[in-house]
Amino acid sequence: MKRIFSLILCLPAISVSAQDMSLPPIPDGSENAFDLQITDSMDALTGLSNQEAFEELPYDSIIVEYASPLGFNGAPSMAAAAQMGATAVQLTPQRFELEISQFAVAPDPDNLAPGEVDFNARIEMLQNSAESDPNVLRWYPNYEVTSQDAEPMLLLQWHYGARGNFDDGKFPGGTNIAEAWQYGMGSHDVVVAVLDTGILFGHEDMDPDNIIQGYDFVSSLDAAADGNGWDSDPTDPGDACGDGDVSSWHGTHVAGTIGAVDSRNGLGIAGVAGDVSIIHVRVLGKCGGSTGDIVTAVRWAADIIPDEELVRLRIPPVEQKAHIINLSLGGRGVCVDGLADIYQEVLDSGTLVIAAAGNSADDARLYSPAGCPAVLTVAASGIDGKLADRYSNYGPSVNIMGPGGDIQTDWNNDGYGDGVLSTIQGGYNFYNGTSMAAPHVAGVAALIFSREPGISPRRVAAYLLGYSHPVAREDCDYKECGSGLLDARFLAPN
């Protein structure tokens, strides 16, 4: 793995103009674009029943949340779960994980159906039981989730540059972000939560004054790799999964794209919105994380967990509610109603969730959280401005494309792969993936929140989609890749 330890970027000086800094009008027809895409995505998802979703995207445990701690009836409920070949593990006073045995089990003596109950039948029985129980608030599959990046390489930050032709010294996949910096690099009052592998505190390009107290929501002791489960320290101890594997420092890379100290500090790189505040929330550990931990962290960062539930969970409230939550992570799994409801509640509370579409060159509807309707889902483009079809997911649930890069190409003939540069342990490196695309969109969203305090997340999404650069169908490999490519030019002076 090659790393850059002391690369200095030559970026244009930032001059804050005295001109009118108000946002331009949202383009005609784009005011409700995000809500319309939510409706379209919901319609696209409702074609699968829960059982059909399982058959398409299997899982071996579900999370069941009760409306109150009294909903779970102790030993009788444990026994009922055991009869269906499941073990009920209490995670919190109101939340249980039902781990489903892979082995067929003998039916209950009172069950009229003869023979053993197979795995798929027990899944359906558990689903039906959860849906019919009036004490159940929601249930959802506990999918395995991983970061959504790929292999690193070297290059400069072409992804912030002006859009244009290579012959003119510009990039077809540029986003015009550097132009928007003439009005500044965001407000300290705007908060972005990065839910990822955690953070490397002390990196030279991370301003400690811009960091708000985060949390570690990795519950598995094996995955946590720090000796405990949930705790108040979101430090990234490494996520190497096995022998010979190396840690990615993925959360630090993502956070750097959003909020690395701007070019005025004379060090390393610039983030899209280097003056905003960031909450680092650790949800991924060795080999990934779980949906159960992630949705709890999402609700925590959005400040929608009721006080009494915080007490039962034994966690403090978030210091400042996040305007934006970046999820550069995902796993194969349909966004069932229980998950969709959580993300809808987060959006309705005033927080915009931005998620990576995934790196399987597949339909993003088959992945979570990318397939959840109230999430703004980001596919990846390359330096050529086209869908990075070697890896990027696509489909009706994708809202927009952002620069994800591709280290296997060198379209500008500079001798380096066309990756996305950001912060890691010991310096900087280039990664590619939809994990890299999402924080570009999150950063521009933070600039919009900074320019218009009090703006709703739906209007922020409308700006992002309405001013995106249209992409020809052939440049998306004749697949659906959202409204177009992220373009921050509308934030620059006229």
Which one of 203, 250, 253, 469 is the catalytic residue? 250
- Identify whether the C-beta of residue 283 lies closer than 8 Å to the C-beta of residue 236: no
d(CA 454, CA 285): 35
Q: Strand 329-332 vs strand 144-147: parallel, antiparallel, or unpaired? A: antiparallel
- Identify whether the C-beta of residue 324 lies closer than 8 Å to the C-beta of residue 354: yes
Token pair 């970027």 in the structure block, residue: 9
Burial class from Cβ neighbours inside 10 Å (0-12, 13-18, 19+) for residue 472 reads exposed
E strands present in 226-304: 277-282, 289-290
Which one of 187, 422, 435, 468 is the catalytic residue? 435
Query: Annotated catalytic, 231?
Result: no
d(CA 122, CA 137): 21
d(CA 47, CA 69): 34
- Identify whether the C-beta of residue 299 lies closer than 8 Å to the C-beta of residue 266: no
Residue 394 in tokens: 């696509």
Token pair 């949340």 in the structure block, residue: 65
d(CA 466, CA 461): 8
d(CA 385, CA 267): 28
* Helix/strand/coil for 490: helix
| Category of 102 on φ-ψ map: left (φ > 0), alpha (ψ -120 to 50) or beta | alpha
Which one of 149, 196, 475, 487 is the catalytic residue? 196
Q: How many CB atoms neighbour CB 336 within 10 A?
A: 22
d(CA 395, CA 397): 6
Query: Annotated catalytic, 435?
Result: yes
Task: Please work out, in degrees rounded to the nearest 5, the angle formed at the alpha carbon of residue 302 by the alpha carbons of 228 and 208.
Answer: 65
- Residue 206: partners with Cβ closer than 8 Å, 6 or more residues away: 199, 200, 252, 255, 256, 259, 260, 261, 423
Query: Annotated catalytic, 167?
Result: no
- Identify whether the C-beta of residue 181 lies closer than 8 Å to the C-beta of residue 197: no
Q: How many CB atoms neighbour CB 319 within 10 A?
A: 12
Q: How many CB atoms neighbour CB 169 within 10 A?
A: 10
Single out the residue of 127, 121, 151, 148 nearest to residue 139, CA to CA: 127
| Catalytic residue numbers, as ranges | 196, 250, 435
